Amino acid sequence: MSRAASPAAIIGAYEHPLRKIPDGTTADVIADVSFGALADAGLAPADIDGFFFAGTHQGLSAVAMADHLGLDNVRHIDSTDIGGASTLLQIGHAVEAIKAGKCSIALIAMGGRPLQTAGRPPLSEAGARYQADLDLSQIAQYAMVAQRHMYEYGTTREQLAKVKVTASQHAQHNPNARLPYAVTLEQVLESPLISDPLRRLDCCVTTDGGGAIIVASADVVRASGKPAAWVHGWAEATRTMARGRIDLMRGGAERTGGVAFEQAGLKPSDIGYASIYDSFTITVLLTLEGLGFCEPGTAGRFVEDDGLLAPFGKLPINTDGGGLSNNHPDRRGGMARTIEAVRQVRGQAHPELQVQDLDHALIHGTGHSLGTIASTATVVLGRSER
């Protein structure tokens, strides 16, 4: 049991069912998921007094989006953008705002349609101009992390591939998944080499879509009678390039996991399910180590023998198929990973993959790039208020 009562819980969640959305606008997609989450919580736009939305990278301000959604009663607004981990950070900020009395019912929403638009705009400010002449894709950056992990710890290509195999075994139960089928270790290892050692199937999917959740105060949650995922711990951090002394074997999870666990009064072995940001297979290995689910350098062995497979693995993760097989909308996986964790805590995951008697779940997000500058955020959820 947690040390203290949780001040707030997630009582509404909705993931866009589509993975390619050629029609309409991105704002329409975000409205689709926002109204989906409101319906799940039994609420209307007028009930929302806290709005959390980071869309300036796509030309959507939080103010314009609030107007588009008809959120006329917002009295707390937060557009903090830390890339793919933004949703996780926003959950923590929403709970803090609710604790402080700044709002009582918060909507967190995101969406995007990268398949309908040209590539991401290049970063040109701060340190980016000093690496502009390099052939340095997002995949290459993570590949350098994987290469070092293999060198330093003896991690194998097969162990990396196993993360994808497990994700695909989960995705075969998700008809909405971008890749709703299982793949073998051989298929991963024989997929095209992109940036050594990462192959195409070591990389997450790119999808249109989005998701939204409702975070509400304890009073609202109790009155609603809705199944809830209570927020017991949360933490956020940067993992910078350390003035030029970057340590690629530390991704930032080691800075947020311990804080979130301590706040929740829990330890890694108390977690029955985890949604782990899986932009690439190596992202999962480094995160498992950082969060303390295994010792540094041992995640490769941890994932062998179906360690991540639901419902009976040591630590079932990403039962929706994760970013590797299901969904990575707007090139940001935090929301999709959050929604599957909420399903698990509420007992609404696929019956074949639902973790039984699940008391506590964890969500971890990674933003920007583990190979250069990264953001990181962790949230611990529980089935009960305490």
Residues that bind another protein (CB under 8 A): 126-127, 130-131, 133-137, 140, 143-145, 147-148, 151, 192-198, 241, 243-246, 248, 372
CB of 86 to another protein, least distance (A): 25
- Residue (2 or 159) nearer to another protein, CB: 159
Side chain identity at residue 249, one-letter code: M
- Residue (23 or 135) nearer to another protein, CB: 135
- Residue (201 or 341) nearer to another protein, CB: 201
CB of 206 to another protein, least distance (A): 17
- 375 closest CA partner among 241, 220, 205, 233: 241
CB of 204 to another protein, least distance (A): 17
CB of 252 to another protein, least distance (A): 17
- Residue (241 or 259) nearer to another protein, CB: 241
- 322 closest CA partner among 300, 295, 296, 303: 303
What does the alpha-carbon distance between residue 83 and residue 332 come to, in Å, rounded to a whole number? 7
- 358 closest CA partner among 342, 338, 334, 379: 342
CB of 124 to another protein, least distance (A): 13
CB of 190 to another protein, least distance (A): 14
List phi, psi (to 5°) of 102: -80, -20
CB of 266 to another protein, least distance (A): 34
- Residue (23 or 245) nearer to another protein, CB: 245
- Residue (130 or 312) nearer to another protein, CB: 130
Cis bond leading into 180, ω under 30°?
A: no
CB of 282 to another protein, least distance (A): 11
**CB hemisphere CA count around 147 (13 angstroms):** 12
Residue 261 Cα distances to 209, 237, 258, 291, 314, angstroms: 31, 15, 5, 9, 18
What does the alpha-carbon distance between residue 248 and residue 295 come to, in Å, rounded to a whole number? 16
Cβ count near 295 (within 10 Å) = 12
- 237 closest CA partner among 256, 214, 216, 217: 256
Alpha helices in the chain (DSSP H): 26-41, 62-69, 86-99, 138-153, 157-171, 185-190, 218-224, 253-264, 281-291, 299-303, 334-345
- Residue (22 or 192) nearer to another protein, CB: 192
- Residue (339 or 374) nearer to another protein, CB: 374
What does the alpha-carbon distance between residue 41 and residue 95 come to, in Å, rounded to a whole number? 17
